[in-house]
């Protein structure tokens, strides 16, 4: 495919790509469904690559019932590579699958694949990304063995994907579009096993590539010398490669440590239209161990982006949905192997911590009459603005609170801290700019809320650098231009003001200053002429 040519649309005109979301627990499953997943994938603790799975059998049964009730497919993962001790568990797994009745099982081990084909032929089998299918020949091989879908390895470039789609039109293809990246080849890593005795392909990856490593030197027969800020300039450390003698590669480390193995997070939102054009059957989000907030943001963003493309592909732009994705805490985003080999900016060599302009404020646990019971996930202080994220809508509903009613005892305070079972009570009457008759429908249980993060100058610079790096990968800039730091606002880039003595001027529900201060009179008049949810222009 040439650089300027468009990939062929080889699927039927009525074909729609599936949005496949991770479900690490029953609550995350329900959140993903609420925010627009077409399908979810879940694992059991002993026979998937997520030994920390929070699903019990009862949870799985309820999850399948919930998903199917809402027209959503559910797949179970059986994607570990078996040792002898695992084989004896397979008959019990088959019994479990027949009881749960998922829409498919994701398998990586060829022996397990053939076992299920023989002992449970009614089950649709999907080939896991752990099987490392990187070519049309491999995909065709799996198809002849009976696979219904093949999850392509993350290392497959988009051009390779186009060719695989052309040569394999009769098997479903699945591609990762978002989530954590592995510094090695699709999880085939020796670090975790070597350093922590936790096998990556047995579901126990310790993510050793994310650790900070301290440099030590030791004299023969002597004591260790710790390299510290005080003595670091006394030493130079180099690597010399066997076939390039004399060409010394300096090992460098700053005060944050050395993170040469630390991969950024995958985000293909900026190229999503290309995957939709060629008819990739399933677009997969990684992150079964992430929070329900992550499930909500990613499902909501990709759902709205996919629907917008199908509605008007010619005028589609990823920007509104990228801005939503940028609100998540992340290690910096990369397009991974989309264009082929990884670029030098696809890894974060400086640090491993995540950064984002927004935090998970909490989730609507339930409605108690006309009150929201809001389970907290981060501290709230007087003047904080909570942005509730309605499923199916890009624009948040903002509520500014000056005091908090603790749900369990009615205690009123100007600060509320999260804790075991901690929740606050929010009266619907505070949402005075919304249609109160529809509020319960717009903000159902499991709706998440976020609040602006307070970032130090160092973390603001990190966020700014991450955003610029993504722009460079997308070919939008050469990395030298200035850009405003994006803190998460969907359209303007401006976040609500913090504290009780200022106002962002956007007419948040409950904002005392906006609704009473004379300097906002013109803004109030302007807002009165607009439809509910329509934004004010700055001016």
- Section 347-359 average pLDDT: 72
pTM: 0.82
Residue 71 lies in a domain: yes
Q: What are phi and psi of 238, to 5 degrees?
A: -140, 155
- Section 70-90 average pLDDT: 90
Residue 72 lies in a domain: yes
Residue 8 lies in a domain: no
The CATH number linked to 524 is 2.40.30.10
Is the CB of residue 385 less than 8 Å from the CB of residue 451? yes
Residue 77: strand, helix, or coil: strand
130 in the same domain as 41: yes
- Section 26-31 average pLDDT: 96
Is the CB of residue 272 less than 8 Å from the CB of residue 304? no
410 in the same domain as 276: no
Residue 500 lies in a domain: yes
Residue 353 lies in a domain: no
Residue 463 lies in a domain: no
507 in the same domain as 368: yes
Structure tokens at 486: 């994006």
Is the CB of residue 349 less than 8 Å from the CB of residue 251? no
Task: Say which residues have a Cβ less than 8 Å from residue 239's Cβ, sequence separation at least 6.
Answer: 248, 249, 251
172 in the same domain as 63: yes
384 in the same domain as 236: no
Distance CA 35, CA 295 (A): 8
Distance CA 459, CA 370 (A): 39
- Section 30-52 average pLDDT: 80
155 in the same domain as 280: yes
Q: What confidence tens digit (pLDDT) does each residue in 160-182 have?
A: 999 999 999 999 999 999 998 76
- Section 68-88 average pLDDT: 91
* Cα 452–Cα 457–Cα 461 angle in degrees, nearest 5: 90
The strand pair at 448-452 and 358-368 is best described as antiparallel
Q: What confidence tens digit (pLDDT) does each residue in 263-297 have?
A: 788 999 999 999 999 999 999 999 888 899 999 99
295 in the same domain as 226: no
- List Cα–Cα distances, 28 to 21, 24, 69, 70, in angstroms: 9, 6, 16, 15
The CATH number linked to 144 is 3.20.20.70
Looking at the structure of the chain, the number of domains it has is 3
Q: What confidence tens digit (pLDDT) does each residue in 290-308 have?
A: 899 999 999 999 999 999 9
Q: What confidence tens digit (pLDDT) does each residue in 204-263 have?
A: 555 555 555 555 566 666 666 666 767 767 777 666 666 777 776 666 655 555 555 567
Residue 458: strand, helix, or coil: helix
Residue 458 lies in a domain: no
Distance CA 132, CA 426 (A): 49
Distance CA 29, CA 67 (A): 8
Q: At which residue do the structure tokens 């690597």 appear?
A: 239
Distance CA 153, CA 175 (A): 8
Distance CA 187, CA 175 (A): 16
Q: Which of 455, 442, 530 is nearest to 488 (CA)?
A: 455
Residue 66 lies in a domain: yes
128 in the same domain as 81: yes
How high is the pLDDT of residue 390? 97
Q: Which helix (H) or strand (E) holds 217?
A: strand 216-218
Task: Say which residues have a Cβ less than 8 Å from residue 132's Cβ, sequence separation at least 6.
Answer: 153, 155, 185, 186, 188
Q: At which residue do the structure tokens 């630390």 appear?
A: 262
Q: Which domain holds residue 233?
A: 202-250
Structure tokens at 214: 């301290």
The DSSP secondary structure of 62-74, one letter per residue, reads HHHHHHHHTT-EE
161 in the same domain as 211: no
497 in the same domain as 419: yes
362 in the same domain as 217: no
Which is more confident, 437 or 8?
437
242 in the same domain as 266: no
């Amino acid at each position: 495919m040439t650089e300027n040519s468009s990939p062929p649309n080889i699927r039927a005109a009525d074909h729609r790509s599936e949005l496949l979301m991770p479900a690490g627990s029953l609550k995350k499953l329900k959140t993903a469904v609420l925010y627009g997943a077409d399908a979810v994938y879940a694992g059991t603790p002993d026979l998937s690559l997520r030994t920390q799975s929070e699903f019990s059998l009862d949870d799985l049964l309820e999850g399948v019932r919930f998903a199917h009730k809402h027209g959503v497919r559910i797949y179970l993962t059986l994607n570990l590579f078996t040792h002898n001790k695992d084989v004896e568990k397979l008959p019990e797994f088959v019994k479990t699958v027949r009881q749960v009745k998922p829409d498919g099982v994701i398998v990586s081990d060829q022996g397990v694949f053939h076992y299920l084909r023989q002992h449970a032929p009614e089950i649709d089998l999907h080939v896991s990304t752990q099987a490392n299918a990187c070519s049309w020949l491999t995909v065709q091989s799996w198809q002849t063995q009976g696979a219904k879908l093949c999850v392509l390895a993350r290392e497959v470039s988009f051009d390779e994907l186009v060719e695989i789609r052309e040569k394999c039109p009769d098997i479903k293809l699945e591609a990762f579009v978002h989530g954590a990246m592995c510094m090695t080849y699709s999880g085939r890593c020796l670090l975790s096993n070597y350093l922590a005795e936790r096998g990556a392909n047995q579901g126990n990856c310790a993510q050793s590539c994310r650790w900070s490593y301290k440099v030590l030197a030791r004299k023969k027969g002597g004591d260790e010398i710790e390299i510290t800020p005080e003595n670091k300039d006394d030493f130079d450390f180099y690597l010399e490669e066997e076939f390039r003698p004399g060409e010394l590669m300096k090992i460098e480390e700053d005060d944050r440590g050395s993170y040469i193995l630390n991969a950024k997070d995958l985000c293909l939102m900026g190229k999503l239209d290309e995957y939709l054009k060629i008819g990739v059957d399933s677009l997969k989000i990684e992150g079964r161990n992430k929070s329900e907030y992550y499930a909500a943001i990613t499902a909501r963003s990709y759902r709205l982006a996919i629907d917008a493309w199908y509605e008007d592909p010619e005028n589609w732009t990823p920007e509104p949905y990228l801005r939503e994705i940028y609100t998540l805490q992340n290690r910096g985003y990369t397009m991974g192997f989309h264009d082929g080999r990884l670029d030098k900016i696809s890894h974060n060599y400086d640090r491993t911590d995540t950064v984002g302009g927004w935090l998970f404020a909490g989730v609507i646990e339930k409605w108690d009459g006309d009150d929201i019971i809001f389970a907290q996930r981060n501290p709230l202080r007087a003047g904080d603005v909570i942005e509730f994220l309605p499923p199916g809508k890009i624009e948040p509903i903002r509520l500014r609170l000056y005091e908090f009613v603790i749900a369990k005892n009615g205690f009123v305070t100007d600060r509320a801290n999260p804790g075991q079972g901690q929740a606050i009570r929010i009266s619907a009457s505070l949402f005075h700019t919304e249609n109160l008759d529809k509020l319960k429908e717009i903000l159902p249980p499991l709706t998440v809320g976020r609040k602006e993060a307070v970032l130090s100058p160092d973390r603001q610079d990190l966020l700014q650098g991450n955003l610029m790096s993504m722009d460079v990968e997308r070919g939008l800039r050469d990395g030298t231009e200035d850009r405003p730091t994006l803190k998460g606002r969907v359209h303007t880039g401006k976040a609500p003001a913090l504290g009780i003595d200022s106002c962002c001027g956007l007419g948040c529900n409950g904002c005392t200053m906006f609704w009473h201060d004379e300097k906002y009179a013109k803004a109030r008049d302007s807002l009165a002429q607009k439809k509910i949810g329509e934004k004010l222009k700055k001016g």
